[in-house]
Structure 1
Amino acid sequence: MIIRIVKMVFREEEVVAFQQLFAERQSLIRHFEGCTHLELWQDAGKPFTFFTYSWWDSEEHLNNYRNSHFFDDTWKQTKIKFAEKPEAWTVRSVASL
């Protein structure tokens, strides 16, 4: 399993539109083959900063999602709302409490 974390900073006037887009598409993302968990986080001190946190069965599953028409369309609608360049990490858990 891998974990994907994506940091996105939005222009203030685009926050509500992004939240609406995510609400519309979250179920489809969550049920994409290989996705086993999905959360949207908002920075407690920076209300225009959001993170997606998702679990994938493998990097291949994540890449299949990232190469899909669905992702392309969603990302196209999301990236025009950014105030900063997004950042992303693909990580594996090495310890858990």
Structure 2
Amino acid sequence: MLVRIVKLSINPENTDSFLANFEANKISIRAFEGCNFLELYRDQNNTDLFFTYSHWKLEKDLDNYRNSELFNGIWAKTKKMFNGKPEAWSVDKLARLD
């Protein structure tokens, strides 16, 4: 399993549009082949800072998503909303405590 964390800094005037775009696409993203989990986080102190957290069965599944029409449509809208460069990490989960 691959865990993908993406940090997105959004212009304050675009946060509502960003949230609406995520809301409109979250089910399709989660239903994409290989995606097993999806969450969106918002920083408590900097409300223009968001993080997506997703689990992918294989790296190839994430690559297929990133090359998909779905991702390209979402990204075309989202990238216009940034006020900073997005950052992304692909990580392996080493431990989990519930």
TM-score (norm 1): 0.98
Give, in whole Å, the separation in 2 of the partners of 1:59 and 1:44. Answer: 30
Which runs of structure 1 show a deviation greater than 4 angstroms over 4 or more consecutive aligned residues?
none
Give, in whole Å, the separation in 1 of the partners of 2:96 and 2:7. Answer: 23
Residue equivalent to 2:11: 11
User: Equivalent residue of 1:39, what SS?
Assistant: strand
Equivalent AA in structure 2 for residue 40 of structure 1:
L
TM-score (norm 2): 0.97
What number of residue pairs does the alignment pair up? 97
Unaligned runs of 5+ in 1: none
For 1:15-54, list aligned pairs within 5 A. Answer: 15-54=15-54
Q: Is 2:93 aligned against 1:93?
A: yes
Equivalent AA in structure 2 for residue 2 of structure 1:
L
The alpha carbon displacement at 1:96 in A equals 2.3
RMSD (Å) for aligned C-alpha atoms: 0.6
Give, in whole Å, the separation in 2 of the partners of 1:84 and 1:55. Answer: 24
1:4-55 residue CA offsets vs partner (Å, 9 max, x unmatched): 0000000000000000000000000000000010000001111000000000
Unaligned runs of 5+ in 2: none
User: Equivalent residue of 1:80, what SS?
Assistant: helix
